[in-house]
Structure 1
């Protein structure tokens, strides 16, 4: 398609033509209305003058007879810019006046009307006039009129002004439409080129923003935000794929090696039983990984948001703490709960409970009594305590899980929320690095956030939920 064809097919150019058509119609009707009323006003004024002059001449006839009327008309007819006069006798003969030919039988009907007349017998072009025909005694007829050329000239002036104005408006509208369309088309073409690059695989491309804060800038800002999210998801998908290939390779290798070892060395049924138990354990670990990935995917997709209900946060926290109390006692860790009553949130009680369970489970891994150095001046109970608290804020509810473990350096806290990320100090612990990422996905599903903070020492994880959970 040529550049001119693209220009004509743009919405901006079509809108410019539509506005031009609307303006032209409006100007046409407006100027037509003005011309019509101006001519009618002139005709009304001429009619008033003609009527008054007719009455005056009739009075002259009454006072001095036909001779005096003829003398007055002859005198007035010779004056510059004189009105139209005609006196006709009983036999239809012209007695006085400055009108040449008239239509046949015009003088037979008295009254006021517009007529066509000729100045003299040699005149080839008829003129239009407003006349008053008055019948005098003795069948003498008097015609007094005024030429309407002035009204026609005004109408012609308005028509010419309309023509020139319309021509100028069309020229300016076409020029302005071309300029605006070229500017818009240039920005659209730039957006198109950028999107083609993105479709070709360059996810770093972004739409240019002119800074005018117009509708195209607002569209570009929203599309750039969408592209940022898409790039983030694609990067996360690539990292997840790499991490799955890397982290699941080890348990699958152990599963295969165990089965191969059993086939090669097992001699008794108990040997095969032990191999099968080991294979089942490895398979359970893999199932847990895929269940966690599925739950993260469902949380990020928002597919469970329609099941949100109001629930008691404190009660959900008590259930999780009671579930992990035996594990904490076995590990020699004090697990304490501080949650005021009547903490109500709207969301998924099961998912919030799952997120809290992941946070408590992580805290138990790193707050074991035998895994912590005892700080100077602190008792063993304080060093291994895990505190689970909840509090109400102005903008929602915060659930906090604080431990006294080694914590996470500030530089690594953002990475710790990604999938399959295991920091240096966590590689010797069981797990696949999905607990914090699942909790973060559940927080985003509810329109909240998950923050990792320093507990001095240890880690303080804050799960913030808005008062009415929903899409962020």
Structure 2
């Protein structure tokens, strides 16, 4: 397909041709209507003027006979203008008037008639068009009263010429404008197509060009660029997940296999076999937990569980989760304190919210708890608070650990991301990812802040419609004394 054929087949060019055809048809109808009405109006005025003159001359003829008529016509013929008069006897001899000669066709005619006559001009004689009414008098005399209509004929020629030239110019401008607009649009579409082909080839960092005009193509390109950015983010996340799966799942699988091989190499011993099988089950349970977490995150991101919601008191859910981790906190030598508002109403899935809160507390105890001997003047504690304001309920889990650098706070919300390089602590790096997915499912957010020292993780959820949470804490703290928010 040639470039010109491709251009002519564009929607823009075809629309331009359609608009041009419609506009030309409307213009032709308007011009013809104007021309026709102008012609009718001028013809009516001309006939009325000639008829009025004929009536006046007829009255003069009845009053004074042919002599009176000849005298009046001679008098009117000397008045400058476009009026034409002729009074002639039956032998075509001119008695009065400014028409020197008439053709045989005009002489034999009766009533309205158009004819050509000659009159002096700067360059000689010229032929001009006239309209007259031929009236036969008694005795064979002729009375001709008319008007020079050469100017009207020139006007008609001018209108026709203007219409033709106007249509020609419109055609030139319409086709040229359609060609120019189509070329510009086709160039932008080709540019977009070339960029999309590059993206389809694997370069997800490319973006569709935006001209800055704010037109529909720019709005489309901006929407597609947002989609491409999201796709690139998801693809990068998939690559990162794949890398982390290879690291986090390959190691326990190798450990599991080596343990079984080691047990097989040892002399047969029921106690050793039993111990090896128990450790193998533990490793398998860990792997199953990792896969279950991945499935849970995938289900949450797909919107599963979004309809199974009830009216909940968030403080009660937090209190139940904190009670489960009291033994863990005591074993680690960390004070687990809760600071709960009186009533924080939300609408959500109790199981998902409970799992999210448990993950936050578990992370705080695992990575943010500092034994008393290493507290450096700060109490070794994890504090869980609930509050509500500005239409949102908040759960804040605060610790005194090393915290998370500000540059890493977004990254740690991704799957399999663990800032602990040695990965000595058990876990898969999916805890915060699961909490973030639960927050998004409930229309909330998860953010990380500095606790000076330590980390403060805040889960924010919309309050239930029509309900207002209180800030006064009166629920007993499972792990310590009650403190006001």
TM-score of the pair, normalised by structure 1: 0.82
Runs of 4 or more off by more than 6 Å in structure 1?
A: 77-80, 86-89, 91-97, 103-106, 125-128, 133-143
The equivalences for 1:325-364 within 5 A come to 325-364=326-365
Conserved in 2, the CA contact under 8 Å of 1:46 and 1:130? no
In the alignment, the residues of structure 2 paired with residue 67 and residue 32 of structure 1 have an alpha-carbon distance, to the nearest angstrom, of 47
Deviation of 1:313 (Å)? 2.9
Alpha-carbon deviations, 1:421-456, whole Å to 9, x = none?
222377221101111122223333444332221111
Partner of 1:244: 245
Partner of 1:465: 461
Deviation of 1:164 (Å)? 1.4
The equivalences for 1:285-364 within 5 A come to 285-307=286-308, 311-364=312-365
Partner of 2:397: 401
Deviation of 1:363 (Å)? 0.8
Structure 1 residue matching 2:20: 3-state secondary structure: helix
**Does 1:210 pair with 2:211?**
yes
Distance of aligned partners of 1:299 and 1:55 in 2 relative to their CA distance in 1, 3 Å threshold: same
Partner of 2:480: none
Q: Which moved more, 1:30-39 or 1:340-349?
A: 340-349
RMSD: 3.6
**Does 1:157 pair with 2:153?**
no
Deviation of 1:247 (Å)? 1.0
Deviation of 1:126 (Å)? 12
In the alignment, the residues of structure 1 paired with residue 69 and residue 402 of structure 2 have an alpha-carbon distance, to the nearest angstrom, of 128
Conserved in 2, the CA contact under 8 Å of 1:31 and 1:162? yes
Partner of 1:166: 167
Distance of aligned partners of 1:105 and 1:447 in 2 relative to their CA distance in 1, 3 Å threshold: farther
Partner of 1:63: 63
The equivalences for 1:96-175 within 5 A come to 100=103, 107=110, 115-116=113-114, 129=131, 131=133, 144-146=145-147, 148-175=149-176
Q: Which moved more, 1:165-174 or 1:339-348?
A: 339-348
Conserved in 2, the CA contact under 8 Å of 1:399 and 1:462? yes
Deviation of 1:244 (Å)? 0.6
Q: Which moved more, 1:319-328 or 1:71-80?
A: 71-80
Structure 2 residue matching 1:452: 3-state secondary structure: strand
**How many residue pairs get matched?**
453
Partner of 2:31: 31
Match for residue 434 of structure 1 among 419, 430, 451 = 430
Distance of aligned partners of 1:53 and 1:103 in 2 relative to their CA distance in 1, 3 Å threshold: closer
Conserved in 2, the CA contact under 8 Å of 1:406 and 1:459? yes
Partner of 1:455: 451
**Does 1:48 pair with 2:33?**
no
Conserved in 2, the CA contact under 8 Å of 1:43 and 1:148? no
Conserved in 2, the CA contact under 8 Å of 1:39 and 1:154? no
Conserved in 2, the CA contact under 8 Å of 1:314 and 1:339? yes
In the alignment, the residues of structure 2 paired with residue 400 and residue 147 of structure 1 have an alpha-carbon distance, to the nearest angstrom, of 102
In the alignment, the residues of structure 2 paired with residue 247 and residue 394 of structure 1 have an alpha-carbon distance, to the nearest angstrom, of 41
In the alignment, the residues of structure 2 paired with residue 256 and residue 186 of structure 1 have an alpha-carbon distance, to the nearest angstrom, of 60
Conserved in 2, the CA contact under 8 Å of 1:443 and 1:449? yes
Alpha-carbon deviations, 1:341-364, whole Å to 9, x = none?
443445544333322221111012
Partner of 1:223: 224
Structure 2 residue matching 1:400: 3-state secondary structure: strand
Alpha-carbon deviations, 1:31-82, whole Å to 9, x = none?
2222222222222322331232122112212211244335544665687765
Q: Which moved more, 1:262-271 or 1:98-107?
A: 98-107
Distance of aligned partners of 1:245 and 1:35 in 2 relative to their CA distance in 1, 3 Å threshold: same
In the alignment, the residues of structure 2 paired with residue 450 and residue 180 of structure 1 have an alpha-carbon distance, to the nearest angstrom, of 49
Greater RCO (Cα-Cα under 8 Å, separation 6 or more): 2
Q: Which moved more, 1:34-43 or 1:77-86?
A: 77-86
Alpha-carbon deviations, 1:323-355, whole Å to 9, x = none?
333433444433333333443445544333322
Conserved in 2, the CA contact under 8 Å of 1:300 and 1:445? yes
Deviation of 1:232 (Å)? 1.1
Distance of aligned partners of 1:5 and 1:350 in 2 relative to their CA distance in 1, 3 Å threshold: farther
Partner of 2:11: 11
Gapped regions of structure 1 (runs ≥ 5)? none
Conserved in 2, the CA contact under 8 Å of 1:359 and 1:436? yes
Deviation of 1:150 (Å)? 3.7
Partner of 1:415: 411
In the alignment, the residues of structure 2 paired with residue 447 and residue 392 of structure 1 have an alpha-carbon distance, to the nearest angstrom, of 15
Distance of aligned partners of 1:236 and 1:266 in 2 relative to their CA distance in 1, 3 Å threshold: farther
Partner of 2:264: 263
TM-score of the pair, normalised by structure 2: 0.80
Conserved in 2, the CA contact under 8 Å of 1:84 and 1:146? yes
Structure 1 residue matching 2:337: 3-state secondary structure: strand
Q: Which moved more, 1:93-102 or 1:240-249?
A: 93-102
